[in-house]
Amino acid sequence: MNGISVRTKLTAWYGGLFLLAGLVLVVINYLLVQSTLPDPARVASTTIGSADLTYGVPAETAPAGVAVRLLSGSLEDYRSSTLSTLLVGSAIALVATAALAVLFGWLMAGRALRPLHDITSTARRLEAGKLDRRINLEGPPDELKELADTFDGMLDRLAESFDSQKRFVANASHELRTPLAVQRTLVEVAMADPEVTPELRKLGTHLLLTNERSERMIEGLLVLARSDRGLHARTPVRLDEVVASVVRATSASAKAAGVTVETRLRPRVVAGDPVLLERLVTNLVVNAITYNASSGWVYVEVRGDPALEVRNSGPVVPPEAVPTLFEPFRRVGSERTGDSRNAGLGLSIVRSVAQAHGGYAEAQPGRRGGLTVTVRLPPS
């Protein structure tokens, strides 16, 4: 934590104010006692004079001056000793009480700031797909409870807004799949006609590619909406087996692209959704194959931490452009602009699936081009 905490500041204020009040009290007490104690010289003269008159000793024959000085010195020593004892005792009591005041001030400040710590910890645990946490502060209706209740109300509104948005994306994506499937069927039937002209066949091929890209984009939106809603159930998943299956399934496309795929798979169990994890791995491997160089390579590794790492050769990626790769529909470089091979949702889905499993994904450019994507997942 940088700087001084509010609790420390409050404790310092409590201790400082108490110490100042104690000092004022000690000074006032010292002055009162000092003014109450009689003057030694006056008391000595009065006492010696009264004794001479009482016992009938003539003043001119009694060593009155010597007696007055002796008695005055004794009284002065007593007065000084009394004030010194009072001052030392007050200082010791003040220091001890100030220490207790600092201790109790620290405890009271912590108790007073506990609702703020609850609000802070709740805010830190919040994610777009996990807005179910609430503070639910109990206590008297003071300013802190009003703040906590306001925060809970804001979370309720945010959760409702996010759920509405996710339902809209899921429903819209689902509704769009049917007309796209119908369009694809109509185009395929039209192209199957032996009397179709070359111009129409070329147009039909272009329409099929466009339709296929739209279907991939909608499928990606469905997966993105599903992962953003979080996981309702978790099962043990062998991540290394998922990666091996995906590499086998994409071997044909890797061979067609002239890309060599190498793997190093250690046993790793992850608690999560096998379908979403398979999509995560598929997106990473397909992206590594698609955005690669001729005669390039892809290296996939499963280990402890990070759980998954995918490295590939390819064009140089500017470091400042890496964070934008995880945003939907964002591509880097002119060679990716308008690319019909992917919908631009690959790494967005990777990040969303990783977050749904309690982890995160990050990327960094390779030294000689390409990209390195690491996915960190909590152990099962």
pLDDT digits (tens, 9 = 90+) for 316-353: 888 888 888 888 766 665 444 345 455 567 888 899 88
Q: What is the CATH number of the domain that holds 312?
A: 3.30.565.10
pLDDT of residue 331: 64
Distance CA 303, CA 266 (A): 5
Cis amide linkage into residue 306, ω under 30° from 0: yes
**110 and 82 within one domain:** yes
Which of 183, 206, 228 lies at the terminal end of a domain, its last residue? 228
Residue 113 inside a domain? The answer is yes
Domains contained in the chain, number:
3
Residues 162 and 207 in one domain: yes
Q: Verify that 36 and 168 share a domain, yes or no.
A: no
Question: Residues 41, 170: one domain?
Answer: no
Whether 130 is covered by a domain: the verdict is no
Asked if residue 137 is part of any domain, the answer here is no
In a domain, residue 131? The reply is no
For residue 329, what are the domain limits? 235-376
Per residue in 264-282, pLDDT (tens digit) is: 999 999 998 888 899 899 9
Cβ pair 51, 70 in contact under 8 A: no
What whole-number distance in Å separates Cα of residue 116 and Cα of residue 123?
11
CATH of the domain at 190: 1.10.287.130
Q: Which residues contact 177 (CB under 8 A, 6 or more apart)?
A: 215, 218, 219
Do 267 and 217 sit in the same domain of this protein? Answer: no
Domain boundary among 205, 228, 251: 228
Q: DSSP readout, 323-339? A: GGGGSTT---STTTTT-
pTM across the whole model: 0.54
| Cα dist from 115 to 90, 136, 359, whole Å | 38, 10, 28
Q: Are residues 201 and 255 in the same domain?
A: no
Do residues 171 and 91 share a domain? no
Please report which confidence band the pLDDT of residue 260 belongs to, taking 50, 70 and 90 as the band edges.
Answer: very high
pLDDT in tens, 42-95: 665 666 555 554 545 444 444 555 655 666 667 677 777 877 888 888 888 888
Q: Are residues 242 and 312 in the same domain?
A: yes
| Contact indicator for 247, 299 with CB cutoff of 8 Å | no
Shared domain check, 343 and 219:
no
How is residue 195 written in tokens?
Answer: 């009397």
